[in-house]
Amino acid sequence: MTTSSSTNDSMAHSKMAIDIAIRIGLIALLVYWCLRIFLPFLTPILWAIIIAVAIYPVHQKLESSLGGRKKLALGLFTVIALSLLIVPTVMLADSMIVAAHTLSKGLEAGTLQIPPPPESVAGWPLIGETLHTVWGAASNNLMATIEHYAPQFKSVAKWLLSAAAGAGLTLLQFLISILIAAFFIAKAEETRSFARALSIRIAGDEGEYFAELAGATMRSVAQGVLGVAFIQSLLAGIGMLVAGVPGAGLWALLVLILAVVQLPPLLVLGPVMIYLFSTADTVPAVLFMIWGLLVSFSDTLLKPLLLGRGVDVPMLVILIGAIGGMMFSGIIGLFSGAVVLALGYKLFVAWLTQEFDAGESNEPDKEGLARGE
């Protein structure tokens, strides 16, 4: 009788284990399926979250200035954001098309001339002699130089086409991200409630604080990294337009990219300075050199003012997180790296403070021991 009962219990446990395994497998399959469906939209949604969090305070001010009309403020935000993305892109594309047409026309007519290189170029470390030789050969006979370096030009052309295709895909992703960000802002209360509930579910009572810290860190990085990069590229583009540098829009874009990846804009503005000293009068070239140096080193003043503003985390932690995150996972890592390192820093400080307080509370009462208590 006992044996039969134990056998029935064993069979019931086995059926229960099989039933649980099937349920877990089905849930795992559903989660995997959902992730596969969601994966193509992961990057646009991440950028939408970043844009919405970074721009929400500005949207609130715009809404209050419009008398609390949410739909009008949201429509203006969407139009302005799309214009800021599309208008510079169209201007840059137009500048590149005009420059390519002028270059092609000059090559066909044989009127394209390259000024000879300054003698100081040969003294540059590593690349000076090679650059001086190629530059000199191009200034003497451009077509022969192009034919001689045809394989290199073809590889560069392939890279440019690939980069252009990647830029087009990135532009499309940003367009989608702006529209999704507008949806997040329109549903700000629901989105905030969801984020608060999720953070509390993950981190307990401190979850709401960490959610606010993550949002403030995103806004700080948007201001201190992307904002500074945009200011530097805008100032550099204005300077090059005034100086009459051909393809100023393209060089301004390169300045923006370098500034975002935390490289000095002088890497682009330096060769432009050399070009102006070779082709323009001395006074404009000197003025542009001064302007370019001011633009290149303006981040030393702007970053302390903008980076880490409103965040209870040292600026160095945010800067290291932004740079390290970008090196680890690209441009999106500027934000994810800063947020993760800021959260890790606060968790470490909280743990350290808790340990320190616990150590103080566990110290023996020396005066009580002296009194024999």
Residue 9 scores a pLDDT above 80: no
pLDDT score for 30? 93
pLDDT score for 331? 67
Residue range 258-292, pLDDT digits in tens = 787 777 888 888 888 888 887 778 888 888 889 98
Q: Please report, rounded to a whole number, the percentage of residues in the chain having pLDDT higher than 70.
A: 76
pLDDT band at 207 (very low <50, low <70, confident <90, very high): confident
pLDDT score for 26? 92
pLDDT score for 373? 44
Residue range 29-85, pLDDT digits in tens = 999 999 899 888 888 888 888 788 878 888 888 888 888 788 888 888 888 888 877
- DSSP labels for 263-323? --THHHHHHHHHHHHHHS-HHHHHHHHHHHHHHHTTHHHHHHHHTTTT-SS-HHHHHHHHH
pLDDT score for 166? 63
CA angle, residues 251, 161, 259, in degrees to nearest 5:
30
Please give the model's pTM, rounded to 2 decimal places. 0.63
Residue range 308-345, pLDDT digits in tens = 666 667 777 777 887 787 777 666 676 777 777 877 88
Mean pLDDT of the chain: 76
Query: What 3-state DSSP class applies to 330?
Result: coil
| Residue 212 amino acid letter | E
If you average pLDDT over residues 128-152, what whole number do you get? 74
Q: What does the block give as tokens for 41?
A: 């939209």
> CB-side exposure of 254: number of CA atoms within 13 Å?
16
Residue 370 scores a pLDDT above 50: no
pLDDT score for 268? 86
